[in-house]
Amino acid sequence: MDQCDKTIINPIEDLSIISLSNILSIEDEKKRNRILRSFEPHEKADDDLKDFWENKAVDYQMEGISSTHLCLNTKMEVMGFFSLAIKSVDIKSFSKEHKEKIYPSLKDKKPRFMAYYLLGQLCKSKKLISSNSYSIGRYLVDSALEKMKEAKKIIGGSIAMVDAINNESIIKMYEDMAFLKLNENKSTKKTVKMIKYLLDD
């Protein structure tokens, strides 16, 4: 794979996780465009996901707003993607238990605001057969968490957050991966805010 760092491999599907930056750096414009245009969002993808992929992913990558990572098969077709960003959250509303997990060594003076890793966008390709759909979703989340752990070693950080689609099977997938529902009042009918403590790993 020219100019692509193969960092995470799924031996069953033979998929690779590649940074969008690596694809954008390919000098052959036809090859670069062919890769990017190979992605067809899953039919259940909402308009926000489609808009992000079609109109924002490249600009956000170049401007440093977020970092998008592509899931490629051996034909260099995009089978899915996820985006990561660094955000800040006011932990005043967090429960005492949550605060202790985030700052276990700070007993009295805990910071009010904390940076966290946001799993902002995640989408699978419509080319994936239904039997692979759940496992590919989990593979993308696992890959996103690995990227967060790599960043944690360099700049710190202890929590990952996602606004999960309020769907029973999706919520269960995140719960099976040790994500917890944060606060019911932080969620909406469309999404559920969930958190994972990277300190646990």
pLDDT band at 70 (very low <50, low <70, confident <90, very high): very high
pLDDT at position 72 is: 92
DSSP string covering the chain, please?
Answer: -TT-----EETTTTEEEEEHHHHHT-S-HHHHHHHHHT--B-TT--HHHHHIIIIIHHHHHHHTS-EEEEEE-TT--EEEEEEEEEEEEEGGGS-HHHHHHH-TT-SS---SEEEEEEEEEEEEBTTS-HHHHHHHHHHHHHHHHHHHHHHHHHH---EEEEEEES-HHHHHHHHHTT-EE--GGG--SSEEEEEEEGGG-
What is the model's pLDDT at position 122? 93
Residue 199 confidence class, pLDDT cut points 50, 70, 90 = low
Superfamily for domain range 9-200: Gcn5-related N-acetyltransferase (GNAT) (3.40.630.30)
With a pLDDT cut of 70, the percent of the chain lying above it is 77
Residue 38: band (very low, low, confident or very high) from pLDDT cuts 50, 70, 90 = very high
Domain ranges of the chain: 9-200
- For residue 46, name the pLDDT band (cuts at 50, 70, 90): confident
Tens of pLDDT, residue by residue over 123-182, are: 989 887 655 555 788 889 999 999 999 999 999 888 899 999 888 888 999 999 999 887
